[in-house]
Amino acid sequence: MLQHGWRQKSTHGLSRTVHAQIFSRRWRMLNLFAEDEKPMPKASDTGTFDPQDSRNACIGPALVTWFLGHQRPLPWRRHYDPYAVWISEIMLQQTQMSKVVPYFERWMKRFPNVQAVAEAPLDALLQAWEGLGYYRRVHHLKAAAQQIMAQHGGKLPFDEASLRRLPGIGPYTAAAVASLAFGRPVVVLDGNAQRVSARLLDWPAPVKEARSLKVLRQALEHWMPSGHAREFNQAVMELGALICTPRNPRCVQCPVCAWCRAYAAKTVASRPVMSGRPLTEAVTVAVGVLCDNGKVFIQKRPPEGLMAGLWEFPGGKAQKGETPEGALRRELAEELGVTVSITEKITEIRHAITRFRLHLHAFRCVLNPPEQSIRLRVATEGRWVPVDALDGYAFPSANRRLIRLLQSAGEERR
């Protein structure tokens, strides 16, 4: 149960003396800096961050205090082991907490350290990742692990710049690992931090613009109590995930709503200002379950691009005016160099991926004539596999749904 931590406690978790030191020092620094600049305009007029605003003093300590009392118990929050923090942050990229936790537990059991990732076959890593999406993260993870073994003696580097050089670690993840695992005084600026800070400032411009990000970062840096980067950064993100949500934020439970400009201006619902999203597109796809002697044919996708390195059933998009059956025949001729007979419509599956809404038509089919050799055109590898053995390969989510159907149909037959 979430509560009003800051209202119930008469003092913060940090002492008032510490607060006074923190903020007097920060203000002095900002004042010194400001002497060379033009006078700071009022934030409400121009949409700039005003470090002199009295509301700033309370925000950081209130967030940290709230986090210490309301944080969710997560596996990597026990010891903040750098390897565990790294893995969790990669998994959490564009992926919700509830989905990540079970994957994280399984991953840590199977790959307990950097060396295990560096030495594992890519297929094993992809299988552990199946269903999480953004599979390029796995390729980067393995490359980064090998780099850490070679250049850092198997230990994560502790400074932002070194972390940033590792594949798959960008500005956010470098700051997250540096602050959460190593206590470095850097702010994270993920989607949560952008939303929370944009609301606290009632920021009127699109948050993704470079100009906005610069100001939001400046505000967060000002709010962060020195020596508490780990707690502050997680507090901002935890608040964004639990309270300051994109839709229907729970302002009555928010520990900083007293100092929130959007709340005061009743503009919370229209903050942050988001730029337009790309339009979605409907696509019809034909998928072939090519059967021969109790086995089915699967192929491995190229190491770059969509679903890189995952296995799949052959098939592809239907062109305009083309039936799913026609598309399947054409695709199998193009991808495998064979002609087939379609023996059965298995199912239809609707599935969304990136900006496409897929309508998959799955067919059972056989080679006709039977004696043909498959020549792969796009895939890097092809195999004939018993349906029950498909669990040993990493498939995209829609393919996996089809496999479950095949397996349950096979069981009924027995």
| Under rule CB under 7 A, residue 278 binds DNA | yes
- String marking each residue 49-68 x if it binds DNA according to CB under 7 A: --------------------
Q: Is 247 in the site for DNA (CB under 7 A)?
A: yes
Per-residue contact flags (x/-) with DNA for residues 200 to 239, judged by CB under 7 A: ---------xx-----------------------x--xx-
Per CB under 7 A, does 330 bind DNA? no
**Of 14-22, 39-47, 55-63, 95-103, which segment contacts DNA by CB under 7 A?**
95-103
Cβ neighbours around 276 below 10 Å, total: 6
Contacting residue, 19, 55, 140, 152, with DNA by CB under 7 A: 140
Terminal alpha carbon distance of the chain: 50
Q: Is 300 helix (H, G, I), strand (E, B) or coil?
A: strand
Structure tokens at 410: 């096979």
**122 touching DNA, by CB under 7 A:** no
Give the span between the Cα atoms of 313 and 326, in whole angstroms: 16
The residue range among 5-13, 221-229, 302-310, 341-349 that interacts with DNA, by the rule CB under 7 A, is 302-310
* Residue 89 annotated to the active site: yes
Strands 295-300 vs 340-353: parallel, antiparallel or unpaired? unpaired
- Number of residues interacting with DNA: please give it, by CB under 7 A: 60
d(CA 354, CA 322): 23
95 forms bridges with which residues in the sheet? none
277 near DNA, judged by CB under 7 A? yes
Residue 84 or 340 with smaller CB distance to DNA:
84
176 exposure class (CB count in 10 Å sphere: 0-12, 13-18, 19+): buried
23: helix, strand or coil: helix
- Rule CB under 7 A: choose which of 157, 225, 240, 315 binds DNA: 240
Q: Token pair of 69, please?
A: 């009392």
Binding pattern to DNA, positions 354-393, x when CB under 7 A?
xx-x------------------------------------
Is 80 a binding residue for DNA by CB under 7 A? The answer is no
Choice between 55 and 164, CB closer to DNA:
164
Does residue 332 sit in helix, strand or coil? helix
d(CA 358, CA 174): 35
Asked if 171 touches DNA (CB under 7 A), the answer is yes
Q: Which of 366, 27, 11 is nearest to 223 (CA)?
A: 27
CB 140 within 8 A of CB 165: no
Q: Please identify which of the residues 89, 130, 231, 335 carries the catalytic annotation.
A: 89
CB within 8 Å of 392: residues ≥ 6 apart? 127
Q: Which SS3 state, helix, strand or coil, does residue 188 take?
A: coil
- Residues with catalytic function: 89
Residues in contact with DNA by the rule CB under 7 A: 74, 88-89, 92-99, 131-136, 140, 167-174, 176, 190-192, 195, 209-210, 234, 237-238, 240-241, 246-248, 274-275, 277-278, 280, 305-308, 350-355, 357, 396-398
